[in-house]
Every structure is written in structure tokens, then in C-alpha cells.
Amino acid sequence: MLEDQVFNEEKPKRNWTIWLAAGGCLVFLCAVVFVGALIFVGPDIVQRFFPANVQVAEELPRAVTQSNSMGDPHAPVYIVEYGDFQCPYCLKFWEETEPQLIKEYVNTGKVYFEYRSFPILGPESFTAAEGAYCAGDQNKFWEFHDTLFTNWTGENVGDFTQEKLIQYAKALNLNSAKFESCLSEGKYKEKVEQDKAQGDADGVHATPTFFINGLKVEGAQPFEILKKYIEDALNGKLNTENG
């Protein structure tokens, strides 16, 4: 009798153990199938379920901005940068030199600075450039410019797909419908191609390349180097013939 009682008490416990184990396996199997299905159907669906974390760049205090330019259009020194948003050396210039350039020369009315796209590193270079111009329609070219560099992790790795650009636009509180329409309709496709063609005509072969009152300067130069060129330009000593 005692053995029967013990057996009867233990039997339900075994059943619960079996059911719990089966349930755990079922949950695990569903999770594996779900993740596998997301990977199979493509990155767009994965991003929908697991949206990427977007970092908004700390705003650089630019005194005067208009679309892809900043500074006083009547400043004595005119600098054009040909850049590619995927270029690590353009990123280096933006991180290490541009803030000082803005503070000391752009915001003091001595330099007028213009950014032109020179997409040479792949398809995402083109989409990023178009996205920046679309953001410029809402007076956020430079904020978008900075956010692109802030979220850069490599070349053609998915940082600057249309889907990602839309995420950046939302993070900057742009009108999403207007931005998406601009991007999907290719409003600035021709503009980006014109920038590239002008760069080719100007003898640009790499990014970043700068023209300081016409003098070509290649590479992510330290601030002190650019400062020397700018000061020479301000003092009428810039030799553009040797550029």
C-alpha cells in the first residue's frame, strides 16, 4: 500500500517534467525557425523587427548655412571639398580638422566652405550623397552630413542604404514623407552626377580633395596645414600655380 501511494504521488511529477521539457523545446524550436526565416527573407525584414540604433551627431555650431555650403558667400577665402561619405579619410577630416576650421575661419567670416559629392567607393556613396541633398531641402544638409559620418562603420556594409538613410532622417526629425519621396524619385541623382563630373574636370582623383581659392590640396590634412594655406590666401601669398 505504501509503495502504491508513493508511486501515485510521483507519477504526476514525472508528467509535469515531461510537459515542461517538451514546452521548452517547442519554444526554442520556434525561436530558431523565426530567426532563420528572418535571415532567409532578407535584411529589410530583419531591420523591421530589429531596427538599428541610430546615433545623432553632436551639432557643430555653423554660423551661416545654405544647403551644402556654410559661411559668408563674400568671405575672402573660398574652399571646396570633394568628398565621399564612405571615405575613411573624409571621416578623419570631419572628426579632427573640420570643427577647428569652422570655429576659427567659417564662423568668423573668413572662409566660405562648400561640400561637393565625389562618390567613388560604391553604390552607397551615391545614395548617401543624394540623401544629404534631400535633407538640404529641409535645411538639414549639414546635420545629415554629420550624422552619416557618425554612423559610418565601413564601406558598402549597409550603413547608407535607402532604408538606413530614412532612419537617419527620422532621427533628425525631418518630414519623413518628403524625404522618402525625394530619395525614391531620385531628385538629386543628376546633381550628384554633376558633382562627380565637375570633380573629374577639376582633376580630382581621391577624397577628400580641397580647392582653396583654386589651389588643389589632397588628403585629410591636419588643421595646421590648412591654416597655413588659408593664412597665405588671406595675405595674398597663396601660389595657386603650384597646386
In this structure, is residue 55 part of a structural domain? no
The reply to whether 42 and 124 lie within a common domain is: no
The reply to whether 86 and 168 lie within a common domain is: yes
Outline where DSSP puts E strands in 104-187. Answer: 111-117
The reply to whether 136 and 26 lie within a common domain is: no
The reply to whether 32 and 73 lie within a common domain is: no
The reply to whether 139 and 171 lie within a common domain is: yes
Going by C-alpha positions, the residue among 184, 142, 153 that lies closest to residue 166 is 184
* Cα dist from 170 to 67, 131, 163, 228, whole Å: 19, 12, 11, 40
In this structure, is residue 59 part of a structural domain? no
How far apart are the C-alpha atoms of 194 and 186, rounded to whole Å? 14
The reply to whether 10 and 77 lie within a common domain is: no
Count the domains in the chain.
Answer: 2
In this structure, is residue 58 part of a structural domain? no
How far apart are the C-alpha atoms of 196 and 137, rounded to whole Å? 20
In this structure, is residue 196 part of a structural domain? yes
In this structure, is residue 56 part of a structural domain? no
The reply to whether 189 and 76 lie within a common domain is: yes
The reply to whether 16 and 135 lie within a common domain is: no
pLDDT per residue, tens digit, the chain (243 aa), is: 444 444 444 444 445 444 434 444 443 433 433 434 444 444 444 343 334 578 777 777 888 888 899 999 999 999 999 999 999 999 999 999 999 999 999 999 999 999 999 999 999 999 999 999 999 999 999 999 999 999 999 888 999 999 999 999 999 999 999 999 999 999 999 999 999 999 999 999 999 999 999 999 999 999 999 999 999 999 988 877 645
In this structure, is residue 104 part of a structural domain? yes
The reply to whether 73 and 147 lie within a common domain is: yes
How far apart are the C-alpha atoms of 213 and 229, rounded to whole Å? 10
What CATH number is attached to the domain comprising 75?
A: 3.40.30.10
pTM for the model stands at 0.76
Range of the domain at 33: 2-49
Burial 177-195 (b: 16+ CB within 10 A, else e): eebbebbeeeebeebbeeb
The reply to whether 98 and 156 lie within a common domain is: yes
The reply to whether 116 and 147 lie within a common domain is: yes
In this structure, is residue 78 part of a structural domain? yes
The reply to whether 44 and 159 lie within a common domain is: no
